[in-house]
Amino acid sequence: MGNSIAVCPGSFDPVTNGHIDIIKRALVVFDRVIVAVLKNSSKTGMFDFDERLDMLRTVFGDNDRIEIDFFDGLLVDYMKKKKIKVIAKGLRAISDFEVEFQMALMNREVDLEIETVFLVPSVKYSFVSSRFVKEIYRMGGELKDIVPEIVDRKLKEKFQSIK
């Protein structure tokens, strides 16, 4: 393989087992994966930026092939700075494809050297989204098989403090 690196970008608010599945699948294809968290000050997440980074570091802390990093602004600018040419993204459904395909084309328009690789999740994670996870916890449910233990605990803490 050489020294191939891909970036898996996202907000990871919060990280789910679906994200973890895609990142592990990327490690089958690439030597290293940078999990790049979007730091978007105009968007308020459930978890603040540092909480999201901490959860990802807890989940992947023991894997030296995974780096947890962040970016703000354009992903292609981050990629140029890091000298990386490949974005790895997961596709759950046709609706994901439409959005991700448009983003891939737009990224290529900005930088012709950027390629996007789409990875298909395990069937058991094909329906998982951070938005649905937060909604289920907000309503008093839990999804221990869908989120890492650290996320389960943090979601319970968040919603306990709201009640």
H-helix segments, 61-148 = 75-82, 94-110, 130-138
Given the residues 25, 52, 130, 134, the one annotated as active site: 130
Active site annotation includes 19: yes
Q: Is 23 exposed, middle or buried (0-12, 13-18, 19+ CB in 10 A)?
A: buried
* Residue 52 appears among annotated catalytic residues: no
Query: Would you list the DSSP string of 32-84?
Result: EEEEEEE--TTS--SS-HHHHHHHHHHHHTT-TTEEEEEE-S-HHHHHHHHT-
Annotation marks residue 92 as catalytic: yes
Q: Residues 42, 43, 95, 161: which is the catalytic one?
A: 43
Q: Find the catalytic residue in 19, 32, 52, 154.
A: 19
Which member of 85, 92, 108, 158 is catalytic? 92
Per the annotation, the verdict on 43 as an active-site residue is yes
Q: Enumerate the active-site residues.
A: 19, 43, 92, 130
